[in-house]
Amino acid sequence: MTTNPFRVAIIGAGPAGIYAADLLTKAERDFEISIDLFERLPSPFGLVRYGVAPDHPRIKGIINALIKVLDRGDIRLFSNVEYGADISLGELTDRYDAVIFSTGCFVDAPLELPGVDLPGSYGAADFVNWYDSHPDVAQIWPLDAQKVAVIGNGNVALDVARVLAKQADDLHTTEIPEHVYEGLKSSRVTDVHVFGRRGPAQAKFTPLELRELGQVKDVDVIVYPEDYEFDEGSLAAIESNNQTKQVAKTLTDFTMREPTGAKRRLHLHFLHAPVAILGEDHVTGLRTERMELDGSAGVIGTGTFTDWDFGAVYRAVGYAGTALPQLPFDSGKRVIPNHEGRVVDAADQASAAEADVVQGVYATGWIKRGPVGLIGHTKGDALETIGHILDDRAAGVLTEPVHPEDSAIVELLESKGVDYVDWEGYHRLEVAEKSLGEAEGRERVKIATREAMLAEARGQVRSATGSHS
């Protein structure tokens, strides 16, 4: 009698999902395991492919490590399969002993401000999706404002500000396709203003990202002395945290720079809390309140307001998770409620420890803990979640799947006409993108539409005009 392997489905093939699959294959165990990755986009890699700025190839290099994991051949990939549309939770639990959700956070966190819905008010995630050539977004982005505000003091705010300020020709060596290049080339932006409500010692920039900002060609970085304040709490943070110390040093260097007369300027403002986006039919400005440090690195409002003239405002205040069909969702924390990775039937994460477990369903990555920490932190998430999966299997609390065969999921998807992309299909897409890059002396050029990505993954022949047959 043949014993079926322990079968695990992972929904979301970004770093969190691939790390979970990799660690699960390497976990100490005395039974065979079979792992399938599902991804709603035609390509895996999540925010590493669609959330990292194109001029950051060092971070993009993480993809190479993820490719090595999937190249081993012991993890199956089903891309272009959307949970909730192409496949349901019941269909998964019928075919797998355990299901892990690693769908991440890929939409903008809400920001409650008057005027936030005005035309010309944009979420940073939407802009990032555009310049990273996400296949589900429009290929046109309005860049007709000369003065632009970016709300936020983290790395995404820096990415948005840098891409807005950078000359298009300096990005043309990266993987951006022609429509992004032409869009940036036509940009009328001259001044980008980045606003943070707290002081410079509380900025969430990483030192490397901030230093790179000062190396952008033909862009003056301006820090205003009146914004550059430290209290006792700030000084203590600088002394105790090397990252904070490096950020403060770089900002200090910026304050001592003389403007060079560059074509574009990038202004960093601290202690300015946005209170309203101004305008009637379109964004015309931003109102901020002057803040002051309270002695312990916190801030309090001064009641002094400034109205700034801007033609566009970008909100870079973080990412948020989205609710998934047939699963509980904490709308406050924007995560799947869970206790150490075990999904629980709770309305909010605070009550997760006492809530009933949704048997056989787990979470890892940002959809488990929220959008905090770097990519490497997802490994710790995965280890915790995987530990509970193995414990639950050992305890005999997992329900045996009705259709445990490896072929069962393939038969289901094919019966529904789901045009899934396997790992070989991804490699065909990768070859096509590298071929496009080679023709222009670049490493690769992204294929930007879902239709074209699927055509390459299927191996259909591209004509001289770029269409497929």
Domain ranges of the chain: 6-106+321-421, 108-318
**What pLDDT is attached to residue 467?**
43
Residue 162 near residue 213 (C-beta atoms within 8 A): yes
**What pLDDT is attached to residue 297?**
83
Distance (Å) of CA 377 to CA 24, 26, 84, 370, 382: 16, 18, 27, 12, 9
Compute φ and ψ for 266, nearest 5 degrees: -120, 115
- Examine domains 6-106+321-421 and 108-318 and report if their fold is the same: no
**Whole-structure pTM value:** 0.93
Tell me which residue of 311, 315, 288, 82 sits closest to 198, measured CA to CA. 288
The CATH architecture to which 6-106+321-421 belongs is 3-Layer(aba) Sandwich (3.40)
What lies within 8 Å, CB to CB, of 111 at 6+ separation is: 151, 315, 317
Residue 275 near residue 202 (C-beta atoms within 8 A): no
| pLDDT(463) > 80 | no
**What pLDDT is attached to residue 348?**
82
Residue 182 near residue 226 (C-beta atoms within 8 A): no
What lies within 8 Å, CB to CB, of 54 at 6+ separation is: 60, 131, 132, 171, 174, 175, 176, 180
Handedness of CA 103, 421, 419, 415 (dihedral sign): negative
pLDDT grade for 466, boundaries at 50, 70 and 90: very low
Tens digits of per-residue pLDDT, 238-291?
999 999 999 999 999 999 999 999 999 999 999 999 999 999 999 999 999 999
Fold designation for 108-318: FAD/NAD(P)-binding domain (3.50.50)
End-to-end CA distance of the chain: 47
* DSSP type of residue 461: P
d(CA 182, CA 199): 37
Tens digits of per-residue pLDDT, 374-400?
676 788 889 999 999 999 999 999 999
Which residues, in sequence order, are bridge partners of residue 445? none
**What pLDDT is attached to residue 461?**
52
